[in-house]
Each structure stands twice: as structure tokens, then as C-alpha cells.
A and B are shown apart, each in its own frame.
Chain A
Amino acid sequence: MKKFVALVGTNTAKSTNRKLLQYMKKRYADDADIEVVELKGLPIFKKTKEVFIPQQARDIAEKIEASDGVIIGTPEYDHSIPALLSSALAWLSYGIHPLMDKPVMIVGTSYGTLGASRAQAQLRQILDSPELKATVLPSSEFLLGHSLQAFDDNGDLKSATESQKLDSLFDDFLEFVDLTDQLDNSKKLHEHAAATFSWDNGTTGDDK
């Protein structure tokens, strides 16, 4: 059975993205072992001479390394992903590269209609950056709008249309994980780039 890490993109107690990820964990329990992982508690990313990485980020990195794929649930703050999630991704590409070539599925919820569409678009761009180079499931937006009303008392999605859509996306993701295993041509290149990457030289266009 496949093992996935599901990152909750926000630290708020009332997150509907957490609800969605917990719903997925329960619903797909027969197909995959999904661990919902909190980012709350991670400090804002900061470069230091010692290239210090907080233990919490190291723990998350380890879990991701040991997994077959990552699911990210993101809300939208100011038309983009929360600073906390952005910060987590920076820690997870600071001398360590757990997300490199890792299959990633993006889901997002919002209180309004749009379902974090702009945040998801930015997140794809970010995950494609040289220090991250994750392999994101293409053509697969799951935008859950009006998320406060979307779940019933058991934490299940009320709308059958939405749950069916999520089911088929998740099935795709399971197959995608197998497929990406075969995409190993550029993998060596990425690994090489990651090995020689230096935040000080900014060899990949990154910057202070």
C-alpha cells in the first residue's frame, strides 16, 4: 500500500483544508496510508551561515523521503499560498531536497467561491522551481469553494459531485505515482543540480 504525506498548508485551528485532508485519509484508507502532517510551529524561513534547519522541518523531510508522494492542502491568503506553507517549502529545499521528483497532488479549499485557484497556480510554479523540482500531478485542480458548508458532521463531503471528482483525481494520483517512477531521465540531472546547489552561489537563480 502506498504511503502519502498530507501537508496542512495553514496553522489555523478552523482550517477546512485540514478537514479535507482528514476526509481523504479516511475515504482512501483502503488504497493508501495517508499521514496528515501539520506545518504549525515552523518558524519563518531564514538563511544562516550555519545553514540551520529546524528539527520540525527535518522531521517532515524524513517523512516525505519515506513516502510515495505528497498531498498539499492550501488555502489562499492574499491571492497566494500562506507564508507558513511558503516557509515550509523553503526549509524543505534548504540544503535538503525531500521533494525532488516526488509526486505531488494539490488540493485547496476556500470559504468563498474560488477555492484557492490563484494560490494553487502559484504553488505549481513554486514546486517547479530548481530547488524543489517536485513532480506535480498535471491537469488536476481540486478547488473546493464554500468550504465551511462543504462537510457534514462526520467530516464527509456533502456533495456527491465533489467527492466523485476527488475520487477520480485520487485514482489518477495513484497511477501518476507509478508513472513518475519511470520518468528517470531528468532525475539524475536534478540530483546532480541538487548536490551542487549552493544558496550562497545561487547557481539555480535563487537569491538572498
Chain B
Amino acid sequence: MVKLVGIAGSIGEQSYNRMLLEFIRNHFKKSVDIELLDINNVPVFNEDEDHNDNPVVHELARKISGANGVILATPEHNHTVPAAMKNVIEWLSNNVHPLNGKAVWIVGASYHTQGSSRAQLHLKQILESPGVNAFVMPGNEFLLSNAKEAFDEDGNLKDARTVGFLDSVMKKFLTFMKVIEMMDAPDPKNSHEEDMDSKHPVNTTVEDVDMTDPEWVEKAAEKTHAATGGDYVKLDRGLLTVDQLNYFLNSMAGELTFADDNNQFIYYNKNADAAHMLAPRTPDQVGNPLSAVHPDRVIEHVKQVLYALRTGESDVVSMPAQTGPNQHVMHYYRAMRDENRRYRGVNELVIDIMPILKYYLAATGQKLVKDPDAVPMSPITGLDAVTGASKHSDPTDATSGASASKSVEKPATKPATDATSGASASTADAAPAAPEEPVDTDALTGASEEPEAGYTAAGDATPAKQPAPEPESSDTDATTGASQS
């Protein structure tokens, strides 16, 4: 659900602007989550003081940063915005700038006919100053005059036409927010324009922290007042503490890496030292632009992958890395998109599929054999549109090739056919005897129907003419089915 924060500009005991915001919150609660922020205890701004000393300012900045948009309700004091509201904006335009690039909708209530018109104009001027740099929705002025008579005893606006106008403006604001959120989306025209140096900050980029700093995580966390430890994080769908999230991600059956839409490497699930990782990463690399964690020779390939995901040409690109008789490490690059379908980065999963394959063969009593009809294919999937994808002799780890350059050089990837047949041969040799009892046929339909077809057809109903099925789909079927049985 879209998340907004609302701030009423006056800190008087009674405020019609607060009533207006409360009405807006209740009126739209089915479609928009609006949290009203309290500015009563914000100290007087002083440029000599550091905001870091003040938890109230912290909290306001954090909530505004986390919201999709902001509603400001201003009365008019002496032809301008109340000092209380201006005071908050001064705090939020000095050391921290949470309103930067944020969509803002201004509303106002007043006793008489003016409906805070002059205060709204001043507020627009203030919000557009460089230190604040918010995006104020143009037009659509909402001026509630004669506020004393406007509400009934339940705090609802009495006039249906006013409510109708509010509905129409909220609808426009929801669209306005989407447009604003898209404004900072990097938009390379081709794969060469993918900015591997991460110089196009997006609205999640932490500004003013050196990306190559080994302490980037610590410094960026301090800058953003990041949640830590026992702090709860509301997720879609669930509620976990930061600790719980770490337990969860660090115990994933695979290595996960997050590079955002500015091509900045911002996370990996650190559960092992680099020496024990399939695609080694080190803690100091986090925060780096992707160019800093890849050797030059793979940069163009990485750009192709990113561009295919960003533009929606592919949702998943996969490629093998280390392959051999006992190992078949796959890298899966998945596009992450927000509710507007905007690309928000790449989710890389590195996993050795050989144990899964071996288990599957053992559990279903099968072995691998060469497919005489196999058509040679590229080991890389998801880059069909990119000519020459199949010619990549070095499909190294798109997000983390760097690690290769920094630590271990990965074994060269073999051509597709070798990789597949090598794997099948060795697995067939190693395949243990079939189990005594027949396995659940529902779960492993393909297997029981075509017991001799080999692993290429066994995972699901994939016809045998497709020599290399998407290993993930077989995995998924097998595991899901198994857990059901």
C-alpha cells in the first residue's frame, strides 16, 4: 500500500489543519496508509547544532524518507506558514535532506475566506529552495475556508462536494507520486550506457558516503539512522526484527547479492568467509560501484545482463560458473521491480545445483545418460536478444566478478555441451541405487512417466528434445512436491 506521512503545520492545542489531515487519513484508509507526524517537540532550529543530537528530528527524517509522499497542511499566521512548520523544514534541509525529491501535496484550512492561500504560496517557495528540493504537486490547490463550520462532530467534512474534490486531488497525487518516483530512474539507451560507476543516484542511494569506503555499511547506516538488531521491520508479508532477517538470509541455501538500480553493490548474505564462498565477496566491498568489483574484461558482459533485466527484456538471466564432475555452480540474476514495474536492482543467487541433482537422481532411482539428440546450446539463458551471448567464453559472475579479481580466479567455464554431458556422465556414475519403495508419483510425475529419459526430462514434463532444462524449474518441482508428500 502507498505510504504517506502528513504534517499539520500548527502546534496549537486545537488545529483545524490537524483535523483536516485526520479526516484525510480516515477517508482514504482503505487505499492509502497515512501516518500523521507530531512536530510539537521539535526544538528551535540552530545551524550551529547538529541534528544528530536530536532524536525527534531523527525520527521525522526517517519517517519522511520511508514514505512515498508527504502531505503538508498549513494554516496561515501573519500571511505566512507557521513558524513551527518552517522550523521543521529548516532541520530537514540542513544536515539531512529527507524531502529531497519527495512528492509533496499542500493543503490548508483557515477560519475565513482566504483558506491559507498566502501561506501555501510561501510554503511552495520554501519547498522549492535547493536545500529542501521537494516536488510540490502543481495546481490542485486545496483551500478549506470557514474551517470552523466545515466539520461535523465526528470530524468529517460536511460538504460532499469538498470531499469529492479531495478524492479527485488524492487520485492525482497518487499518479504524481508515481511520476516523481520514476524521475530518478536511470535510463540507459543501450547496454554500453549502463553506468557501472554508479554515478546516477536513485532515491535509495545514500548520499555523501564514499562508495569505495571499506566502512561504507557502517557510515551509510549511521547517516540513515538504519534500523538494527531488535528493531522490527514490516515486510510483505510478515514482520521480522533485523536480527531475524539476518538469521533468515544468512541461512539461505545459496549466496545472495543485491545490486541496486544505480548498479551499486549494497548487500550480500554473509555467512562464510570469502575463501569458502562459491562467488567470493568480502565485507569491505559492500557499497562499491559494480565497476570496482569486476575485472575490466567482464564489464561489457555484466552490462548486457543488467540492461536486459532493467529494460524487461528478461526477468532472469542464468549462467554457469564453476562446473565439473562434482559441482555445477549456477548464477541466477533476477530483476527486482517495484509496484510500478520500475527496475530496482538485481537479485543474484549463486548456488551449486549438483547436490540437488544427485539427490533427485538417487531419490527417483535414475541415472544420467548422454542424449544423442542433444542440440548444442548456450549455457547462458535470458540473454537471447543479445547477439553473441552464446559466444561469451567467460560468463563470469555478473555482480561479483570482482571478487574473482580480488581473490580466487575461477576456473574457466566450459562450453555448454561439455558442461552438461560432463555433469551427466559423472552423476550417472555416482548415482546410487534406486530406492526400494516407489517414490511419490504425484510429486515426481515426469520421473515416473519416463524413468529412463535421464535428468534432462525427468524434472518435469519438459520434452526430451530440450537438452538443458531450466535447472531451477526442476529443482522447484522436485522440492515442492517432496515437501508436499
The residues of A with any CB-CB pair to B shorter than 8 Å are: 10-14, 40, 42-49, 77-80, 82-84, 86-87, 89-90, 93, 118, 122, 125-126, 128-129, 131-132, 201-202, 205-208
Tell me the minimal C-beta distance from B7 to chain A in angstroms.
Answer: 14
Q: Which of A43, A90, A122 contacts B122 (CB 8 A)?
A: A122
Closest to B118 in A: A125
Query: Complex: how many Å from CA A11 to CA B44?
Result: 9
Tell me the minimal C-beta distance from A89 to chain B in angstroms.
Answer: 6
20 contacts between A and B (CB under 8 A): A12-B47, A12-B48, A14-B48, A42-B44, A45-B82, A47-B12, A79-B125, A79-B126, A80-B122, A83-B45, A83-B89, A86-B81, A87-B83, A87-B84, A118-B125, A125-B79, A126-B80, A207-B147, A208-B14, A208-B16
**Within 8 Å CB of A84, what residues of B?**
44-45, 83, 87
B78 and A131 within 8 A (CB): yes
B44 and A208 within 8 A (CB): no
Q: A44-B83, A45-B84, A90-B83 are in contact. Are A205 and B129 (CB under 8 A)?
A: no
**Within 8 Å CB of B45, what residues of A?**
77, 82-84
B128 and A79 within 8 A (CB): yes
Query: Complex: how many Å from CA A126 to CA B125?
Result: 15
A208 and B75 within 8 A (CB): yes
**Within 8 Å CB of B285, what residues of A?**
none
Q: A80-B122, A83-B86, A87-B87 are in contact. Are A125 and B131 (CB under 8 A)?
A: no
B46 and A12 within 8 A (CB): yes
Closest to B94 in A: A77
B78 and A126 within 8 A (CB): yes
Closest to B75 in A: A207
A89 and B46 within 8 A (CB): no
Closest to A45 in B: B83
**Within 8 Å CB of A83, what residues of B?**
44-45, 83-84, 86-87, 89-90
A128 and B129 within 8 A (CB): no
Query: Complex: how many Å from CA A129 to CA B116?
Result: 13
Query: Complex: how many Å from CA A44 to CA B89?
Result: 13
Interface of B is mostly: loop
B111 and A205 within 8 A (CB): yes
Tell me the minimal C-beta distance from A190 to chain B in angstroms.
Answer: 15
8 more contacts with CB within 8 A, not counting A44-B11, A80-B122, A206-B78, are A44-B83, A45-B77, A77-B86, A86-B78, A87-B44, A201-B111, A202-B111, A207-B110
The reply on B109 being an interface residue by CB < 8 A is yes
Interface of A is mostly: loop
A78 and B44 within 8 A (CB): no
**Max chain B C-beta neighbours (<10 A), residue from A77, A86, A208:** A208
The reply on B431 being an interface residue by CB < 8 A is no
Q: Which of B13, B93, B122 contacts A47 (CB 8 A)?
A: B13
**Within 8 Å CB of B125, what residues of A?**
79-80, 118, 122
| Residues of B1-31 whose CB lies within 8 A of A | 10-17
**Within 8 Å CB of A89, what residues of B?**
78
**Within 8 Å CB of B15, what residues of A?**
208
Closest to B80 in A: A126
**Contact string against A for B residues 350-367, beta-carbon threshold 8 Å, 1 for contact and 0 otherwise:** 000000000000000000
B78 and A93 within 8 A (CB): yes
**Within 8 Å CB of B112, what residues of A?**
202, 205, 207
**Within 8 Å CB of A45, what residues of B?**
77, 82-84
Closest to B19 in A: A208
**Max chain A C-beta neighbours (<10 A), residue from B46, B111, B113, B129:** B111
Tell me the minimal C-beta distance from B102 to chain A in angstroms.
Answer: 14
**Within 8 Å CB of A78, what residues of B?**
86, 89-90, 93, 126-127, 129, 131-132
**Max chain A C-beta neighbours (<10 A), residue from B13, B76, B80, B147:** B80
**Within 8 Å CB of A13, what residues of B?**
48
Tell me the minimal C-beta distance from A95 to chain B in angstroms.
Answer: 14
**Within 8 Å CB of B464, what residues of A?**
none
**Max chain A C-beta neighbours (<10 A), residue from B10, B78, B81:** B78
Closest to B88 in A: A83
**Max chain B C-beta neighbours (<10 A), residue from A12, A44, A79, A206:** A44
Closest to A76 in B: B129
Tell me the minimal C-beta distance from A206 to chain B in angstroms.
Answer: 6
Query: Complex: how many Å from CA A83 to CA B42?
Result: 12
**Within 8 Å CB of A43, what residues of B?**
44
B76 and A206 within 8 A (CB): yes
Query: Complex: how many Å from CA A86 to CA B14?
Result: 20
Tell me the minimal C-beta distance from B257 to chain A in angstroms.
Answer: 40
**Contact string against A for B residues 289-317, beta-carbon threshold 8 Å, 1 for contact and 0 otherwise:** 00000000000000000000000000000
A202 and B110 within 8 A (CB): yes
**Within 8 Å CB of B17, what residues of A?**
208
Closest to A125 in B: B79
B12 and A208 within 8 A (CB): yes
The reply on B114 being an interface residue by CB < 8 A is yes
**Within 8 Å CB of B89, what residues of A?**
78, 83
Closest to B45 in A: A83
**Contact string against A for B residues 385-409, beta-carbon threshold 8 Å, 1 for contact and 0 otherwise:** 0000000000000000000000000
Query: Complex: how many Å from CA A201 to CA B93?
Result: 34
Closest to B123 in A: A80
A207 and B111 within 8 A (CB): yes
Closest to B127 in A: A78
Query: Complex: how many Å from CA A157 to CA B307?
Result: 58
Those 3 A-B pairs whose CB atoms lie nearest each other, nearest first: A202-B111, A87-B83, A83-B87
**Within 8 Å CB of B81, what residues of A?**
86
Tell me the minimal C-beta distance from A126 to chain B in angstroms.
Answer: 5
Q: Which of A10, A80, A82, A206 contacts B77 (CB 8 A)?
A: A206
Query: Complex: how many Å from CA A83 to CA B44?
Result: 8
Query: Complex: how many Å from CA A90 to CA B46?
Result: 18
**Within 8 Å CB of B44, what residues of A?**
11, 42-44, 83-84, 87
B16 and A207 within 8 A (CB): yes
A80 and B46 within 8 A (CB): no
Tell me the minimal C-beta distance from B429 to chain A in angstroms.
Answer: 73
Query: Complex: how many Å from CA A208 to CA B122?
Result: 17
A207 and B116 within 8 A (CB): yes
